[in-house]
With several copies, the nearest count.
Chain A
Amino acid sequence: MKVKEKEKKENIPLTCGAVITQPGSTKKYKTGEWRTFIPIIDQEKCIKCGKCWMNCPDGAIFKTPEGKFMINYAYCKGCLICEKVCPVKAISHKVEEK
Chain B
Amino acid sequence: MAILGIDEKEYFASGHRACAGCGEALAIRHILKAAGPKTIIAQATGCMEVVSTPYPESSWEVPWVHCAFENTAAVASGVRAALDAKGDKETNIIAIGGDGASFDIGFGSLSGALERGTRMLYIATDNEAYMNTGIQRSGATFPYANTTTSPAGKVIPGKTQPKKPLPFIAAAHGIKYVATASVMNLMDLHMKVKKALSINGPTMIVVLVPCVPGWKIDSSSTIDVAIKAFETSISPLYEIEEGVLTINQKPSEKKKVEEYLMMQGRFKHLLPEHIKKIQEYVDARWKYLEENNGKKVFDNLF
Contacts and interface: CB of A to CB of B under 8 A. Distances in A.
* Whether chain A touches chain B in the assembled complex (some CB pair under 8 Å): yes
Given A26-B58, A72-B14, A79 B222 contact: yes
Nearest to A12: B56
A4 interface: no
A26 B23 contact: no
Interface stretch (B5-13, B87-95, B158-166): B5-13
B25 interface: yes
Contacts of B59: 24-26
Given A53-B3, A81-B21, A26 B13 contact: yes
A21 to B, nearest CB: 9
A83 B221 CA distance: 10
B140 to A, nearest CB: 20
Contacts of A22: 56-58
B259 to A, nearest CB: 16
Interface residues of B, number: 41
A27 interface: yes
Interface string B180-215: 000100100000000000000000000000001000
B20 A79 contact: yes
A29 B219 contact: no
Contacts of B21: 57, 77, 79-81
Given A24-B13, A59-B13, A29 B57 contact: yes
